[in-house]
Amino acid sequence: MSKADVSPLQAHAATPAELRERIEAERAGTPFLVLRDGDGSQRVHALEPQLRRVAIGRSAGNDIALVWDTEVSRLHVELERLGDEWTAADDGLSRNGSFVNGQRISGRHRLRDGDVLRVGRTPIAYRVPEASETNPTAAAGSRAELPSLSPTQRSVLVALCRPYKDTELATPATNQQIADELFLSVDAVKAHLRTLFGFFGLEHLPQNQKRSYLAMRALQDGAVSRRDL
């Protein structure tokens, strides 16, 4: 897989604001796309339920206009909703082709959670919150099962989230701040955080994203409540 096919969810160091934007998109529960524009800024496009087709190309008239990418055709690829699924179709629209996870597609290609669609030099990540193929159906009124944490692990998680007590526009507590609050060594804090990253399935994220994402996931999923802070 070339660098151009690397997911924009991982290829760049996301800012706290960008992570919040992704998490808000996940909370909405509808599929969405994530890409970076010509200036490297993150763009999130929700695939709202009323949408049936999304045109992607260099022309400003497209639903998603990649005007900065000279390798993108004026109308490059179309996304189409079929039932609850989204598909990508090139059908000869583009000069340089369209690729999913590094493989050139022809005709219609079903998109799956985490796929990277590349048009020109622009990779576009496709996300499906709580993808039905990878998560069991929950009973009505239930919520995602939370990991079983030891008292120390939970204390570390609460301390990490402490700066979010009064605002979501915060950054997680540092290892030193957590260590000082809990009378632990910094190395012990790091070890507990590594375990927590694993519990919440965040090992794949770049190192400089894991802490913010862990804090926001903990608050979002209810592992830490505002009262705890």
pLDDT 10s digits, 194-209: 999 988 888 777 777 7
- Identify the pLDDT of residue 72: 94
- Please determine, for residue 81, whether its predicted confidence score (pLDDT) is greater than 60: yes
- Tell how far CA 162 is from the center of its chain: 23
- Any idea which of 30-34, 111-115, 149-153, 217-221 has the lowest mean pLDDT? 217-221
- Tell me the whole-structure pTM to 2 decimals: 0.61
Mean pLDDT for the chain overall: 84
- Please determine, for residue 181, whether its predicted confidence score (pLDDT) is greater than 50: yes
- Identify the pLDDT of residue 11: 42
What residues have CB less than 8 Å from 207, skipping those under 6 apart?
none
- Tell how far CA 1 is from the center of its chain: 20
- Any idea which of 2-11, 98-107, 182-191 has the lowest mean pLDDT? 2-11
Sheet holding 32-36, edge to edge: 42-46, 32-36, 122-127, 116-119, 98-100, 103-104
* Confidence grade of residue 226 (pLDDT, cut at 50, 70, 90): confident
* Confidence grade of residue 169 (pLDDT, cut at 50, 70, 90): low
- Identify the pLDDT of residue 134: 38
